[in-house]
Amino acid sequence: MTLLILWGLYQGRKVKTSADFAIAGRNLPGWVAALSERATGESSWALLGLPGAAYATGLMEVWTAIGCVSGIIFAWIFLAWRLRDEAAKYKADTFTDYIAQKHGDAGKWIRIFGSLTIVFFFFFYVGAQIIGGGKTLENIFGIDRIWGMFLVVLFVVPYTIYGGFRSVTYTDVVQAVIMIITLIVAPIAGIIYISGQPESSLYASSISQALFKAGDSYSTFAGGANLVQGSRLEIFLSGIFPDSINLINGLGAGIIIAGAFSWFFGYLGGQPQLSMRFMAIKNSQQARQARNIGVAWTIIAYIGALMIGWIGIAMFGPDGLRDQETVMPEVLTTLFHPVMAGILITGVLAAVISTANSLLILSATELSENLIKPLRDTSAKNALLQSRLVTAILSLIALMLAYFIKDDLIYTVVGYVWAGIGGTFSVVILLSLFWKRFHGKAALLTIISGLVFTIIWISTGLDEIITSRFMTFLVAMVVAVGGTYFLPGQKK
Average pLDDT over residues 244-267: 77
CA distance 349 to 354: 8
Q: In this structure, what is the dihedral angle of CA atoms 355, 361, 364, 365, given to the nearest 10 degrees? A: -130
Which residue did the predictor score with more confidence, 216 or 303? 303
Predicted pLDDT at 436? 92
Predicted local distance difference test score (pLDDT) of residue 135: 82
For residue 241, what pLDDT band results from cuts at 50, 70 and 90? low
In 197-244, alpha helices (H): 207-214, 216-219, 232-240
Whether 140 has a pLDDT exceeding 90, the answer reads: no
Provide the b/e sequence for 248-279 (b: ≥16 CB within 10 Å): bbebbbebbbbbbbbbbbbbbbbbbbbbbbbb
Cα separation, 153 vs 5, whole angstroms = 12
- How far apart, in whole angstroms, are the C-alpha atoms of residue 107 and residue 101? 6
The CA distance from 150 to 388, in Å, is 19
Task: Please say whether the beta carbons of 71 and 263 come within 8 A.
Answer: yes
The single-letter code of the amino acid at 345 is I
424 contacts 454 by C-beta, under 8 angstroms = yes
pLDDT grade for 429, boundaries at 50, 70 and 90: very high
CB atoms within 10 A of CB 3: 9
Q: How many CB atoms lie within 10 A of CB 229?
A: 7
Does pLDDT of 43 surpass 90?
no
Cα 183 to Cα 186: distance, rounded to the nearest angstrom: 6
pLDDT of residue 259: 85
CA dist 53 and 110 (Å) reads 37
What's the whole-number mean pLDDT along residues 209-214? 94
Residue type (1 letter), 370: N
55 found inside a domain? yes
Residue 97 lies in a domain: yes
Tell me, yes or no, whether 98 lies in a domain. yes
For residues 290 and 145, which has the higher predicted lDDT (pLDDT)?
Answer: 290
Q: What is the spatial distance between Cα 11 and Cα 20, in angstroms, rounded to a whole number?
A: 11
Number of domains in the chain: 1
pLDDT band at 173 (very low <50, low <70, confident <90, very high): very high
Separation CA 184–CA 153 (nearest Å): 29
Residue 82 within a domain: yes
Mean pLDDT within 7-22: 91
Rounded distance, CA 444 to CA 110, Å?
A: 6
3-class SS of residue 289: helix
Distance of CA 149 to the CA centre of its chain: 20
Nearest to 265 by CA among 76, 88, 424, 396: 424
Task: Name residue 281's beta-bridge partners.
Answer: 28
Q: For the residues 133-157, what does the mean pLDDT come to? A: 87
- Quote the pLDDT of residue 39: 92
Q: Note whether residue 203 is domain-resident.
A: yes
Is residue 378 very low, low, confident or very high in pLDDT (cuts 50, 70, 90)?
low
CB 74 within 8 A of CB 267: yes
The answer to whether residue 492 is domain-embedded is no
> How many angstroms from the chain centroid is the CA of residue 135?
19
Sign of the CA dihedral running 131, 267, 462, 465? negative
Q: What is the rounded CA–CA span in Å between residue 247 and residue 268?
A: 33
Quick: pLDDT tens for 57-92: 999 999 999 999 999 999 999 999 999 999 999 999
Partnered with residue 28 across adjacent β-strands are 281
Is 320 strand, coil or helix?
coil
Band (345; pLDDT cuts 50, 70, 90) = confident
Count other C-beta atoms under 10 Å from residue 200's C-beta: 5
CATH code, 346? 1.20.1730.10
E strand map for 142-279: none
**388 domain residue, yes or no:** yes
- What average pLDDT does the structure give for the chain? 89
Crossing angle between the packed helical segments 327-335 and 284-316, to the nearest 10 degrees: 80
Q: In sequence order, which residues have a C-beta less than 8 Å from that of residue 294 and are 6 or more positions away?
A: 34, 37, 38, 72, 76, 80
Confidence class for position 483, pLDDT limits 50, 70, 90? very high
> Per mean pLDDT, which of 310-324, 342-356, 366-380 is the most reliable?
310-324
Q: Where are the beta strands (DSSP E) in 277-362?
A: none
Which structural domain, as residue segments, surrounds residue 72?
2-486
In a domain, 491, yes or no: no
